């Protein structure tokens, strides 16, 4: 059995964690909105047509912010078609996902849904086919209460200001798949001037500029540098996006692949700081990791469907049915985000409902939890407060594609009121349990309260509407003495150990 010690010293604080680290994302894509959050006529629909069964699960996840309305969708989004009375709602073709958008749910409806879900909206403006003037009109409509055209229009539509504080300057503008793709210079100038003008209108907002669509983009690094050189003074965050996949069916490689987040985050943070120095700025630009998840199960069939059956309304797209190993990968990613919470202030699990999502719905049935629901739930509920580094003395292993992969990954979080310490740990050895010794220093009076784990011998088992095969188990087989807890982490397991002060 592998042996690991996890030393947690109260003095090793990494950072206060921004609650928005546990954000998510809803795009007008597939059945995320229609048949997802919204389905008038469904037995669980409320007076606004929102599915209450979905709202309950979103509330359980305690999501602090939801990015909307895209994604690739936003790059040809005409927001004014999605507001006001039914007769002004234009039906549009969405080029990103080759679907028909009825605009039945728009800005006002989504803001109302967000209020019911207890979450804030992170809004995106279209910098693909539109630009600064349109972003200003949109911001005026959303946030201002002036006697000007768009603020008055919103009032006529019966809404108070939505007060949206976080704005994405477009989406993945480096991607050749993006409608209105730009060079780094073109985009950097546009993001700068748009964020500048938007802040002239409402100086309470924060702006996120697009970083690379993923770390393997050919312009990764040079894109960030150029965009930051242009836009640094007016933006607050630069985005990162990353999806994980196990197309080759190698679980060890899959688990190891998450380490790329360390390099990704460190590199982007270093570029931010280099530009900060070159500009002699006293402002720090941080990271909004506003798309992350596993995404690979449906890619090929979705490409086929979009080719063969284009322009449907709310087609079944990106409906990955997640496995046990996907949940472990997401647990590893959450550990990385907490470890890097000094620079990653916002992160959005992409996405939330039906589309590469922890929550799924049946059109004629209920809502249910995918395997990936659970690590996110645990991190969102127990991962708020300050991140404390774990010094992990662990073995390493090689996989087909990676060398010196740590067996155990762990981080801990001290709750905001200082009474609870939670250790998140993954044993990523697939064939071997690990004996773990957790040593607390500076946590007098803390005793173990509970230990939740996701464990399975079958890496490919998944959940469905009929059966929840992957659910957390509560474990009690540990010893605790003199500030040291001894426990065995099962091979390929996600572990959440909660200590509470007496």
> Please, which residues have CB within 8 angstroms of residue 497's CB and are 6 or more apart in sequence?
422, 423, 425, 438, 448, 450, 451, 478, 485, 487
**In terms of DSSP H, where are the helices of 310-360?**
324-339
83, 157 contact by CB (below 8 A)? yes
Residue ranges in 282-301 that form contacts with ligand AHR under rule CB under 6 A? 291
Complex with ligand AHR: residue 42 or 130, whichever CB lies closer: 130
**Min separation Cβ 97 and ligand AHR, Å:** 8
If we measure between CA atoms, which residue out of 115, 172, 96 comes closest to residue 355? 96
- Residue 464: both structure tokens together: 């469905």
Q: Which is nearer to ligand AHR, 2 or 260 (CB)?
A: 260
Contacts of 56 (CB under 8 A, 6+ apart): 367
H helical segments located in 107-247: 107-117, 132-143, 149-156, 184-201, 222-231
Q: Does 351 bind ligand AHR (CB under 6 A)?
A: yes
Closer residue to ligand AHR (CB): 106 or 128: 128
Q: Does the annotation mark 229 as catalytic?
A: no
Q: E strands along 40-161, which residues?
A: 65-68, 92-94, 99-101, 120-125
Judged by CB under 6 A, the residue of 24, 72, 126, 422 near ligand AHR is 72
- In the range 159-178, which residues lie near ligand AHR by CB under 6 A? 171-172
Which region among 66-74, 332-340, 395-403, 462-470 touches ligand AHR (by CB under 6 A)? 66-74
User: Counting contacts by CB under 6 A, is residue 315 touching ligand AHR?
Assistant: no
**Could you say which of 8, 107, 269, 350 contacts ligand AHR (CB under 6 A)?**
350
Rounded to a whole number of angstroms, the distance between the first and last alpha carbons of the chain is 33
Which residue lies nearer to ligand AHR by CB, 31 or 384? 31
- Check residue 330 for interaction with ligand AHR (CB under 6 A): no
**Smallest distance, Å, CB 400 to ligand AHR?**
27
- Interface with ligand AHR, residue 70, by CB under 6 A: yes
Cα separation, 59 vs 48, in Å, equals 17
Nearer Cβ to ligand AHR, position 137 or 351? 351
User: Is 291 part of the annotated catalytic residue set?
Assistant: yes
Of the listed 35, 109, 291, 325, which one is catalytic?
291
Pairing verdict, β 420-427 and 493-501:
antiparallel
In this structure, are residues 60 and 376 in contact, taking their beta carbons and an 8 Å threshold?
Answer: no
Find the residue with minimal CB distance to ligand AHR: 71
27 binds ligand AHR (CB under 6 A): yes
Active site residues: 172, 291
User: Applying CB under 6 A, which residues contact ligand AHR?
Assistant: 27, 70-72, 171-172, 213, 291, 350-351
């Amino acid at each position: 059995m592998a042996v690991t010690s996890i030393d947690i010293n109260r003095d090793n604080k990494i950072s206060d964690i921004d609650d928005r680290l546990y954000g998510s994302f809803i795009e007008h894509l597939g059945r995320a909105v229609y048949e997802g959050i919204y389905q008038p006529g469904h037995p669980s629909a409320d007076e606004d047509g929102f599915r209450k069964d979905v709202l309950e699960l979103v509330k359980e996840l305690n999501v602090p912010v939801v990015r909307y309305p895209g994604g690739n969708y936003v790059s040809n989004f005409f927001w004014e078609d999605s507001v006001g009375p039914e007769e002004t709602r234009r039906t549009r073709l969405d080029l990103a996902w080759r679907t028909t958008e009825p605009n039945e749910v728009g800005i006002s409806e989504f803001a109302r849904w967000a209020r019911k879900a207890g979450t804030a909206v992170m809004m995106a403006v279209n910098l693909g086919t539109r630009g600064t003037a349109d972003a200003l009109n949109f911001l005026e409509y959303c946030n201002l209460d002036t006697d000007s055209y768009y603020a008055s229009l919103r009032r006529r539509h019966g809404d108070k200001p939505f007060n949206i504080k976080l704005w994405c300057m477009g989406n993945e503008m480096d991607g050749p798949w993006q409608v209105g793709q730009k060079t780094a210079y073109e985009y950097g100038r546009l993001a700068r001037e748009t964020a500048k003008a938007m802040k002239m209108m409402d100086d309470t907002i924060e702006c996120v500029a697009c970083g690379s669509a993923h770390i393997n983009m050919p312009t990764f690094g040079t894109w960030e540098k150029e965009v930051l050189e242009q836009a640094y003074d007016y933006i607050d965050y630069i985005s990162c996006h990353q999806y994980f996949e196990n197309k080759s069916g190698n679980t060890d490689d899959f688990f190891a692949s998450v380490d790329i987040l360390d390099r990704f985050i460190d590199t982007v943070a270093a570029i931010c700081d280099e530009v900060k120095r070159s500009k002699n700025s006293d402002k720090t630009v941080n990271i909004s990791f506003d798309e992350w998840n596993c995404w690979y199960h449906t890619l090929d069939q979705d490409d086929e469907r979009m080719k063969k059956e284009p322009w449907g309304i709310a087609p079944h797209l990106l409906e990955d049915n997640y496995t046990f190993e996907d949940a472990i990968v997401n647990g590893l990613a959450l550990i990385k985000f907490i470890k890097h919470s000094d620079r990653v202030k916002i992160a959005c699990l992409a996405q939330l409902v039906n589309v590469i999502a922890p929550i799924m719905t049946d059109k004629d049935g209920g809502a249910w939890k995918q395997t990936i629901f659970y690590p996110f739930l645990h991190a969102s509920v127990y991962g708020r407060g300050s991140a404390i580094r774990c010094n992990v003395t662990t073995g390493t292993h090689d996989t087909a594609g990676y060398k010196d992969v740590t067996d155990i990954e762990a981080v801990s979080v001290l709750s905001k009121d200082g009474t609870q310490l939670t250790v998140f740990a993954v044993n990523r050895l697939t064939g071997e349990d690990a004996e773990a010794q957790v040593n607390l220093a500076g946590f007098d009076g803390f005793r173990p309260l509970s230990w939740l784990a996701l464990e399975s011998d079958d890496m490919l088992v998944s959940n469905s509407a009929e059966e929840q095969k992957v659910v957390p188990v509560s474990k009690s087989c540990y010893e605790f003495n003199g500030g040291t807890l001894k426990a065995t982490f099962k091979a390929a397991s996600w572990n959440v150990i909660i200590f509470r002060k007496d």
